[in-house]
Structure 1
Amino acid sequence: MNTKKDSELLLDGSQGEGGGQILRSALALSMLSGRPFRLTKIRAGRSKPGLMRQHLACVRAAALVGNAQVEGAEIGSTEIGFRPGTIRGGQFEFKVGSAGSTMLVLQTVLPALLRADAPSRISIEGGTHNMLAPTSDFIADAFLPLLARMGAQVQMTVERHGFFPAGGGLVHVEVRPGPLQPLHLHERGASTGLEAIALLRSLPQHIGERELEIAARRLPLTASARRDLSAGFGPGNALVLKASYANVTEIVVGLGEHGLSAESVAENACRELRSYLAHGAPVGEHLSDQLLLPLLLAGGGSFVTGRPSSHLETNVAVIHAFGAAQVSIAPDQGNPQQHFRVSLET
């Protein structure tokens, strides 16, 4: 890995996806490489530019894990400087505040913790089910099993679910550092089931039943269930769709919100999953950008996905900017019209 530890890398936060992805990837890569960076124009194109609460939580978490010196770590800041030290394991507690995503904080620090000098146990309080962020279901059932196949030892427990706007979710994650093996994921393998689970807290049961009814109409389900969550912070609802295969699992989550009918929640989630089922590639849109840093830790790997998302392309650009690896995205020979092979080499 080309670290260039003495030179500060300048990154433009308005490029590519233009949101928090650049920040999170840069924090992770900086900790792994030891190279400091300065990020300007943070979320410049958003209606509220600069660091929001969940982005600030990611910066503060990375600063603790990476023993880093940080400039500009405050709400609304459009520029930060981050100078990492030595990654350390141990016990950490991170509070995002409100319903900010716990999973985005985990996504930021997990690569470094897999390279730490000791095992870690982290507790993160905030949202577990957020718009525009991976949910705890996705991380638990789609992402972490692939890390386990690569050799990672990561265990996650959801003590409380946290929904917008109250938040209050609480997750615990145990990480044992160690080497990872490359992953080559080119085919889904045989189907092993298609499930729908309706999560409800402090809401009428008929909401979940209506969502499951729509899912049963739109998808060839092999199982469905309603899960009533224990008391927590405010009401919440999510429809979790789980498509399992021999080599990969795809998770799609529809989130209930005020003013959106149960039928609309289910229809939207089913439409997204049906798109995944139709294109046939093993790696879905949201999993594709999240696999790059584990492949980097493993020293290489490849996977086949559908049309590249802006998040995937942004992650590739940040990896190249750090000189951490070479990543190529090219039409896959098996289905060049719909499938793309992503390969990473260090």
Structure 2
Amino acid sequence: MEKELIEVDGRSGGQCLRTALALSSVTKKPCLVFNIRANRPKKGLAQQHLTGLNTLAKISDSKVKGNVLGAERIVFYPKSIKEGNYGVNIGTAGSITLLLQTLTLPLIFSPKKPSFRIFGGTDVPFSPSFNYSKEVFYQFISFLGAKFSFNLKKRGYYPKGKGLISFSKISSKLPLKPFYKVEQDKLNFIKIFAHSTGYPKEASENLSSLTKKLLQEKFPLVDLDEETEFNESIDEKGAGITLIAKFKDGLRTGSSSLQEKNKPPKKVAVQAVEFLLNEINSLKPIDSHLADQIIPFMALAKGHSTFETSALTYHTLNNISVAEKFLDVKFEVKGKITEPAEISVEGIGFKGQSE
């Protein structure tokens, strides 16, 4: 007898689609995602979403209906993850870090360990930068029991997206551990990642210098570390800053800003520093961009989890809605949209489906 489809309204954006696909693969519950990105100027599956969907299907021999560019409705029938070495090419500057949100959960709950080389955008607008994902998100889920190898081979920027990363699971201890943190710990130090491709070497050095000066003014007693990266290129051009604040308890928060046309380097530095300052001054342990990403992990972990975040976002609320459709959980949210909030859930202690 065919399983009933879990129906997810994807009008709010790609996040609902990615989370639905990930949880469908983990739970082996088929899903229908409709109204995909209906609230966006360009509706339907973009290249990044389509590539994530097709990649998840390929590594698991899952059946898909509607996997074409621009589709506003897809049906996904999940199967088990396979071993293999996979090359994935988004084909645009679509975000690699967002694509990986489709793959990370399924890999955690599978005994298999496929490896990936993924081409696309590593540092592009409206998505986590490579360094933020590695230093904040993947660092966080390592506390829960899942460790990944996530390495940068080449930066990729908008509009060409010629970046390359390697990605694979190292280990996952199931069920995942719950997480409780409602206060921000002592700030240990801040690391500056300044990078440029296709600009003179001085571009990334200038970004780092400007950022360091601003940070010294805002955090005179905090140690600073710098990593400056310069890449020659005739067919790719981009630059940016990612800042990672590291706290005594091992948690991290971060911010990013990218060089754009008519955007001077000083503004790039100011944007990154101001966002980081706002997160640190909130005194909350989980930043607003990390909060939505960790929702399904909390639901699948064993036992009670509670965290406080600097700002409640619609992304977080949407991910809660999707998680509650797939799993027998009920989140408690204390706080108003765009304001600090406390989020709690009793996780189900999921250990994975039999292969």
Give TM-score, length-normalised by structure 2.
0.88
1:151 matched to 2:153: no
**d(CA) in 1 for partners of 2:255, 2:86:** 29
Q: Which amino acid aligns with 2:274?
A: R
Counterpart for residue 231 of structure 1: 232
Counterpart for residue 70 of structure 1: 64
Deviation at 1:264, TM superposition (A): 1.6
* Contact 2:212–2:224 (8 Å) recurs in 1: no
* Contact 2:214–2:270 (8 Å) recurs in 1: no
1:241 to 240, 243, 249: 243
Deviation at 1:77, TM superposition (A): 0.8
Question: Measured at CA, do residues 210 and 342 of structure 1 come closer, stay the same or move farther in structure 2, by a change above 3 Å?
Answer: farther
Question: Measured at CA, do residues 291 and 125 of structure 1 come closer, stay the same or move farther in structure 2, by a change above 3 Å?
Answer: same
Q: Which amino acid aligns with 1:321?
A: K
Any idea what SS the aligned residue of 2:231 has? coil
User: Which range is displaced more, 96-105 or 20-29?
Assistant: 96-105
Q: Which amino acid aligns with 2:210?
A: E
* Contact 1:188–1:246 (8 Å) recurs in 2: no
1:256 matched to 2:259: yes
**d(CA) in 2 for partners of 1:327, 1:87:** 29
1:309 matched to 2:313: yes
Q: Which amino acid aligns with 1:195?
A: K
Counterpart for residue 199 of structure 1: 195
Deviation at 1:344, TM superposition (A): 4.1
**d(CA) in 1 for partners of 2:42, 2:226:** 39
Counterpart for residue 318 of structure 1: 322
**Residues 71-125 of structure 1, C-alpha deviation per residue, up to 9 Å, x if partnerless?**
1111111111111122334322211112111111111111101111322212211
Q: How many aligned positions are there? A: 336
**d(CA) in 2 for partners of 1:189, 1:63:** 41
* Contact 1:306–1:340 (8 Å) recurs in 2: no
CA RMSD, aligned part only? 2.2
**d(CA) in 1 for partners of 2:177, 2:59:** 23
* Contact 1:194–1:241 (8 Å) recurs in 2: yes
Counterpart for residue 351 of structure 2: none
Counterpart for residue 155 of structure 2: 161
2:21 to 23, 27, 31: 27
**Residues 261-314 of structure 1, C-alpha deviation per residue, up to 9 Å, x if partnerless?**
112212221221111011110000111011122223323422211231111000
Question: Measured at CA, do residues 92 and 178 of structure 1 come closer, stay the same or move farther in structure 2, by a change above 3 Å?
Answer: farther
Counterpart for residue 295 of structure 2: 292
**Residues 139-183 of structure 1, C-alpha deviation per residue, up to 9 Å, x if partnerless?**
111011222222212111111111111211111112134412222
**Residues 174-216 of structure 1, C-alpha deviation per residue, up to 9 Å, x if partnerless?**
2134412222233332211023232112213444344332552
**d(CA) in 2 for partners of 1:281, 1:130:** 26
**d(CA) in 2 for partners of 1:178, 1:338:** 31
* Contact 1:159–1:172 (8 Å) recurs in 2: yes
Q: Which amino acid aligns with 1:63?
A: A
1:128 matched to 2:132: no
Extract unaligned runs of 5+ from structure 2.
349-355
* Contact 1:208–1:226 (8 Å) recurs in 2: no
Give TM-score, length-normalised by structure 1.
0.90
1:280 matched to 2:283: yes
**d(CA) in 1 for partners of 2:60, 2:248:** 36
Identity across matched positions, percent: 25
1:9 matched to 2:3: no
Any idea what SS the aligned residue of 1:216 has? helix
Runs of 4+ in structure 1 deviating by more than 6 angstroms, as ranges, are: none
1:345 to 344, 347, 355: 347
